[in-house]
Amino acid sequence: MRIGIFGGTFDPPHLGHLILAAEASHQLALDRLLFVLTPQPPHKGDRLIAPLEARLEMLQAAIAANPAFELSHIEIERPGPHYSADTVHLVRAVYPDSTLAFVMGADSLRDLPDWRRADDFVAACDILGVMRRPYQRFDLKALEEKLPGIGGKVQFIRAPLLEISSRQIRRRIAEGRPYLYYLPAAVAAVIARRGLYRQPD
């Protein structure tokens, strides 16, 4: 089996996430893609994030239509802080003979050397599926110097550059600007029903 792992805060999930997920699944020939919702990301500081329950509901709604996409509780079930290295080891324990691909945007790849136990994380992944993101530059050579071996694991996902982010959607909602069509209608419905993101970050 070829298993993908897609970690994120998903606050809220949007079309950038879904397009990355679909293209990565296809281009890396994944049998299953696990969406790993991070309850409280260590690097996001004090920013108020939407309650876990609300993010779970949005993410479930976002991925419901695709049978190969699966919501994973692997980080919700264990106490924090949550490090991706541990997450990959836990997925490996469930799928011992599988190829594991961690998928991410280019900003995450750029920040990877600052992740806790980054070398352990890179060693644990068979593939790092990376989708480029507008304005996010990175230097694969410099990354390779900091994390030897990473270069051989990176596979770029071909996809259009998508200038969509959760932060930008949160701001749109707080400012009363349109946000429909940046995310699935089912996610927009959860946002409206729960009255999420009406206050600025």
Q: Does 43 bind ligand ATP (CB under 6 A)?
A: no
Write down the residue that tokens 């600052």 correspond to: 114
Contact 108, 131 (CB under 8 A): no
Q: Which amino acid is at 175?
A: E
DSSP state of 98: S
Residue nearest to ligand ATP (CB): 105
* Tokens at 143, concatenated: 């990354």
Binder to ligand ATP among 22, 71, 164, 174 (CB under 6 A)? 164
Residues 118-157, mask of contacts with ligand ATP (x by CB under 6 A) = -------------x-x------------------------
**Taking CB under 6 A as the rule, does residue 25 contact ligand ATP?**
no
- Does 184 bind ligand ATP (CB under 6 A)? Our answer is no
By CB under 6 A, tell whether 165 contacts ligand ATP: yes
Out of 16, 39, 129, 184, which residue is the one contacting ligand ATP (CB under 6 A)?
16
Longest dimension (CA), the chain: 49
What string marks each residue from 89 to 118 as x (binds ligand ATP by CB under 6 A) or -?
---------------xx-xx----------
Beta strands of the chain (E only): which ranges? 2-8, 32-37, 69-72, 99-105, 127-131, 154-157
Contact 70, 34 (CB under 8 A): yes
* Residue of 3, 5, 18, 20 that binds ligand ATP (CB under 6 A): 20
